[in-house]
Amino acid sequence: MPAAKQLAEALAAADTAAVAFALRNDAVIVPLLPVDGLAQVRVFRASVEDPFTLLLFSSAENYVRMLPEETDLRVLRYGRAQLVEFMEKHLDTLGTVWFDVAGPHPMQADPVELLAALTL
């Protein structure tokens, strides 16, 4: 799967405006649950009391870097419309969004602020 090059460059520059631009105009790699049937976005949380964290990636390789022991890591490339649709549907359960959380250039975002940037 092709990497999200614009996003990778924006993260490397630690430029939040460029990250928003990349998400509006290019793509992002979204992890999926390893289940048969309809693809479902995989979200994470530290404990059942915590809100969910949406992890987004500039490449499938960066997702693998985060979970090197797992063997069935699935991803999709999401464009702006798909990401907006997911975030609007699940905004009340998301506590944070991380990009490339295991590196090489991690960045954190507030879900409400990210959704606002996507819908400009």
* Domains of the chain, each with CATH number or no CATH: 5-118 (3.40.1350)
Q: Give SS3 for 82.
A: helix
Residues of the chain under the 50 pLDDT cut: none
> How many residues in the chain?
120
Q: Residue 21's pLDDT is what?
A: 97
pTM above 0.85, yes or no: yes
Token pair of 116, please?
Answer: 């606002």
Token pair of 38, please?
Answer: 């309809």
Separation CA 60–CA 113 (nearest Å): 25
The residue among 24, 31, 27 whose CA lies nearest residue 4 is 27
Digit-coded pLDDT (tens) for 27-58: 999 999 988 888 899 999 989 989 999 999 99
Q: Residue 113's pLDDT is what?
A: 98
Exposed / middle / buried, residue 111 (Cβ in 10 Å: 0-12, 13-18, 19+) = buried
Token pair of 48, please?
Answer: 């059942």
Q: Residue 81's pLDDT is what?
A: 98
